[in-house]
Amino acid sequence: MEYQKPIPLKNQDNSPYWDAADRHELTLQRCDSCHEYAHPPGPSCAKCGSTDLSWVSIGDDVKATIYSYVVSYRPFLPGFQDELPLIIAQAELEKVPEVKIMCNVLECKPEDIQIGMPVQMIWQDIAEDRALPQWKPVDE
Ligand SMILES: [Zn+2]
């Protein structure tokens, strides 16, 4: 079946992030000057303004804990109507706790989501050469 949702576009700033996702890995941008992670990626460091940025692989075993979340009952993008409600959360990465990452939490009922809940990254293959990072509760 054809993928109906908008496919995230790669640009100069974020293409390493999406290329890693296509390989089912997470990569994060890090500033070479102040060593802060920058997520979402951008053209310069949000902390010190440096444009010396590198990409650091976090690998394919990515866990996090829910830091905050909202449950959305309205589609904000076309193609999501059939998946409501959506759980949109911010999660703190286990390997890089200073980074909070936006996530769609799948395979979870809205009444089951809670702050502090462990989640893990999964990748949804949406096209031959594209995959989207998603999240689900960590298996017990
Ligand atoms: Zn910096």
Rounded to the nearest whole angstrom, what is the distance from the C-alpha of residue 36 to the centroid of ligand 1? 6
Q: Confidence band (pLDDT; 50, 70, 90) for 82?
A: confident
- Which residues contact residue 76 at a Cβ distance below 8 angstroms, ignoring those fewer than 6 apart? none
Rounded to the nearest whole angstrom, what is the distance from the C-alpha of residue 57 to the centroid of ligand 1? 18
Beta-bridge partner residues of 30: 37, 54
Q: Which CATH number fits domain 61-124+131-140: 3.40.50, 3.30.450, 2.40.50, 1.10.8?
A: 2.40.50
pLDDT given for residue 1 in this prediction: 62
Question: What are the residue ranges of CATH 2.40.50 in the chain?
Answer: 61-124+131-140
Burial class for 103, CB neighbours closer than 10 Å (0-12, 13-18, 19+): buried
pLDDT at 134 over 70: yes
pLDDT given for residue 90 in this prediction: 97
pLDDT given for residue 16 in this prediction: 96
Alpha helices of 33-85 — where are they, by DSSP H? none
Rounded to the nearest whole angstrom, what is the distance from the C-alpha of residue 3 to the centroid of ligand 1? 37
User: Cα separation of 12 and 90, whole Å?
Assistant: 25
pLDDT given for residue 136 in this prediction: 97
User: Which of 59-63, 78-82, 96-100, 102-106 bottoms out in mean pLDDT, i.e. has the lowest?
Assistant: 78-82
pLDDT at 17 over 90: yes
Closest residue by Cα to residue 118 from 138, 98, 100: 138
Rounded to the nearest whole angstrom, what is the distance from the C-alpha of residue 129 to the centroid of ligand 1? 32
Rounded to the nearest whole angstrom, what is the distance from the C-alpha of residue 113 to the centroid of ligand 1? 34
pLDDT given for residue 140 in this prediction: 66
Rounded to the nearest whole angstrom, what is the distance from the C-alpha of residue 46 to the centroid of ligand 1? 7
What would the mean pLDDT of 47-54 be, rounded to a whole number? Answer: 96
